[in-house]
Amino acid sequence: MSRAELVVGRADNPPLLPLGTLIGRELRGRIKDDNPFLKYGQAALAKKGEDYFLIKPDCQRIPGDPSTTFSVFAIFDGHNGVSAAIFTKENLLANVLSAIPPGVSRDEWLAALPRALVAGFVKTDIEFQQKGETSGTTVTFVVIDGWTITVASVGDSRCILDTQGGVVSLLTVDHRLEENEEERERVTASGGEVGRLNVFGGNEVGPLRCWPGGLCLSRSIGDPDVGEFIVPIPHVKQVKLSNAGGRLIIASDGIWDALSSDMAAKSCRGLPAELAAKLVVKDALRSRGLKDDTTCLVVDINPSDIPIIPSPPPPKKKQNFLNSILFGKKSLRSTNKASKLSAVGAVEELFEEGSAILAERLGKDIPDQKSGVIKCAVCQADQPLDDPSGNPGTFFSPPSKHWEGPFLCTTCRKKKDAMEGKRPSKSTAGTK
């Protein structure tokens, strides 16, 4: 079996600990010395079977050039079926990469990545909705290139960073209507109704949901049967680690409804990644039982091949259990305000943007008009500059005037307007 086959096999069917360690060593050994070593592990327990994950440690910016290797780790927590989660797992990475100009340097590539992630998420959402299937999915999509980590997310599958100083920070935002006031205001302003489920003569139960559709999330990929104001536009955060390294824990809400970010990080410190992932899942189950799909990826970004044992010892399991009973589900989420990364000194914040307005996310570049053909900023389809159909609506502003936004094709323009509540919605507008 070749090295490449070993890696591919691993992504779908993770083997036990020793192989993961070996692969990590082999892979990183081929890369320049100033790159970190990655070690990773995964653990999951299914209740509904709607969690999917992606481990791709062997991507290359320039195919065939190992010095351009980057890695992708992602979790997709599906709801109302699995097809959106599967479709996103299979198509999102290619859609993101298609939005990055070819032949750029590593720095240019990293700078282009936040915008490409937005385009890739929206493109994937449009493509899935065109399939005419139901279901939706959260996405937490992590790209690691050297010491730079870029995280794009919709929904409530968190990614946390545990640095060597013992500071735990959140790299994602929870897009839950219950906990995110800004998102409630956006959804309401775009025409959605936010409220709880009514049962038994008007008694309200459960978390805040958005109507029509009744989804608890304010952002997702898929969900053709809810309002377009449930958008696929991700929160994106990009940070650069110091060469002291750090650990990422990426997990679905089955973990975060049971453990706070701090509890998850502390419970597995000092353990190798594969074992750490298993322990986090076990801890979540111990405090809450198997109430939901529970998936956890742990990625260690180390300066050398030797595992680092962070200084604080793991707390006693009994204490974790007690905390989870004392503070319960709600406080777990609400007490998890992101720590100030910059205060640590170990992490440099490069980029953070979470706006749901596409025009604020895709930049305002003036396209090269010499060729007579320009690309849609979302789906990358070539469009003739002078549309023979005479449809000036494909531009945010007419091209003859001052340029005020990215170029979008007719399909993506419709999507943009629908997400902002400016038009009824998708093809099945009557049900929205």
Contact set with Zn ion (CB under 5 A): 376, 378-379, 409, 412
**Are residues 74 and 139 in contact, defined by beta-carbon separation less than 8 angstroms?**
yes
- Closest approach, Cβ 365 to Zn ion, in A, equals 15
Q: How far apart are CB 363 and Zn ion at their closest, in Å?
A: 15
Instruction: State the Cα–Cα distance between residues 128 and 248, nearest whole angstrom.
Output: 29
Token reading at 22: 């070996």
Q: Which is nearer to Zn ion, 55 or 126 (CB)?
A: 126
What residues contact 321, with CB distance under 8 A and at least 6 apart?
286, 287
Q: Are 135 and 82 in contact (CB under 8 A)?
A: yes
How far is 228 from 79, CA to CA, in rounded Å? 17
Residue whose CB is less far from Zn ion, 185 or 365: 365
Q: Provide the angle, in degrees to the nearest 10, between the axes of the packed helices 273-288 and 317-334.
A: 80
Q: Is 17 exposed, middle or buried (0-12, 13-18, 19+ CB in 10 A)?
A: middle
Nearer to Zn ion by C-beta: 267 or 394? 394
CA distance 313 to 275: 16
Peptide bond into 212 cis (omega under 30): yes
Identity of the residue, 119 or 171, whose beta carbon is nearer to Zn ion in the bound complex: 119
**Cβ of residue 379: shortest distance to Zn ion, in angstroms?**
3
- Cβ nearer to Zn ion, comparing 108 with 382: 382
Residue 411 Cβ, how far from Zn ion at the closest point, in Å?
5
Residues 6+ apart with CB under 8 A from 317: 267, 283, 286
Distance CA 50, CA 424 (A): 30
Q: From CA 30, how far away is CA 19, in angstroms rounded?
A: 17
The helix (H) or strand (E) run that includes residue 130 is: helix 106-130
Question: Based on CB atoms, which residue is closest to Zn ion, 237 or 413?
Answer: 413
For residue 301, the cross-strand partners are 38, 246
Closest separation in Å from C-beta 168 to Zn ion: 39
* Residue 37 amino acid letter: F
Of 169 and 394, the one with the shorter C-beta distance to Zn ion is 394
Nearer to Zn ion, 195 or 363 (CB): 363
Least separation in angstroms between residue 368's CB and Zn ion is: 17
Question: Closest separation between CB of residue 383 and Zn ion, Å?
Answer: 8
Positive or negative CA dihedral for 248, 253, 254, 259?
A: positive
Q: How far is the CB of 414 from Zn ion (least distance, A)?
A: 10
